[in-house]
Amino acid sequence: MSILFRYISGSLAKNLAGVLAAVVAVYLAVDFFEKIDDFMEAGAELSLAARFFALRIPFVVAQVGPVGVLLAALVVYGLMARHNEITAFLCGGAAPVRLLLPLFALGAAASLGLLCVSETAVPAASREANRIWHEKVRRDTIQSGGTRDLWFRGDRFIARVKMYVPEQEKATGMTLYWFDSDWNLARRIDAKRAAYGDGTWRFGKAVDQRMTGGVPEVSMERDLVLALPFGADDLARNVAESGEMTFSELADYAEKVAAEGYDASRYRVDLAARISFPFVCLIMAVLGGGLALRSVRGAGLPWIMVLAVALAFGYWVVHSLALSLGYAGRLPPVAAAWTANILYGALAATIAGRVKG
């Protein structure tokens, strides 16, 4: 390992840590002022609020990591250019492509780290943060066990929902219980499927059991419509999000949704994006380094930084658009997840390839 490689790698690592710390601090400050009133109204302890915001850190790091890599590359190579370090290196007759090697190392390490964080810290932290928000702050009457059943507890009423698909406002495996004043079971409805619309739930082929004098009266209802104390929005807020699941849990959930006859495109796209997104760190590292090295040959660094930030924003636009097309079934899940990476990877390779001695 050369002295130059160690010098640049160390500078990149320190600047990446500084950029991430600054961005996380700004994000948490904004999030704090948006949510602190809710914690105060709920009478939550300060330690609970501190824990909630601390649990948000892995998610923020995973989201801004690629931009942090890009900015770190621009800052390090920009300062080297200002101090004529790059010029001195090139005058020595060395190939400028050697300057990109630390960027490849940083990008590869950041991609691997982001993949690990997205698979371990982010799901666990997101689940716990959402649990605190919904149960301790918002005090929602619906409780979720991650990817397990949803439960609603009302006035002598309990409902269990095996699965809810927000995009279609349909539920699978819904069981409803009503109790009398002594908490004896008064009525039970079991339905394989239920759909929400116009403020009511419509059940198809439901089994309705009513207790009369301790004797159940069972009837089959082909089209039963009921107004329940919870709606589609209440369930949607508590459905496990893709970010709360590990890769294996998300894969199992996608298969479970498909097995129930629902469209699992959203979850399959998110599954493919779980693999593709971390690699953007490598792409941004090469892109930032290539742009910074080109600034040595005439283009001003401030303009290069503006261009880089614009390109980073463009990546998010392209990536989001491709994912939306995947959710709608217009693109295959793998194509939707990798489109932005392929386009920007080609751009980064082109820019880096033009860095010649």
CB neighbour class for 216 (10 Å; exposed up to 12, middle 13-18, buried from 19): exposed
- Does 128 lie in the same domain as 12? yes
Closest CA to 145 of 159, 128, 121: 128
Q: Does residue 164 lie within any of the structural domains? A: yes
177 and 28 in a common domain = no
- Using a cut of 0.95, tell me whether the model's pTM lies above it: no
Unique residue bearing structure tokens 């964080």: 117
Same domain, 128 and 266: yes
Predicted local confidence at residue 296, as pLDDT: 53
* Number of domains, the chain: 2
> What pLDDT shows up at residue 55?
93
Regions of the chain short of the pLDDT cut 50: 298, 357
Give per-residue pLDDT as tens, 103-124. 889 899 999 999 999 889 998 8
Is position 10 within any domain? yes
Whether 204 and 297 share a structural domain:
no
Say if residue 128 is in the same domain as residue 155: no
- Domain carrying residue 210: 148-236
Distance CA 271, CA 184 (A): 44
Q: Count other C-beta atoms under 10 Å from residue 173's C-beta.
A: 16
Give the pLDDT confidence score for residue 144 in this predicted structure.
60
- Tell me the C-alpha to C-alpha distance, in Å, between residue 348 and each of 15, 90, 184, 266, 294: 21, 21, 68, 29, 12
Region of 173 on the Ramachandran plot (φ > 0 left; ψ -120 to 50 alpha; else beta): left
- With respect to residue 329, please indicate whether it lies within any of the assigned structural domains: yes
Say yes or no: 154 and 123 in one domain. Answer: no
Considering only CA atoms, which of 191, 257, 276, 244 is closest in space to residue 55?
244
End-to-end CA distance of the chain: 22
3-state secondary structure of 206: strand
Please tell me whether residues 228 and 348 are part of one structural domain: no
Other beta carbons within 10 Å of 7: 14
217: enclosing H helix or E strand:
strand 215-226
Instruction: Kindly report, residue by residue over 160-201, the tens digit of the pLDDT.
Output: 888 888 877 888 888 999 998 888 888 999 998 899 988 899
Amino acid present at 344? Y
Same domain, 7 and 126: yes
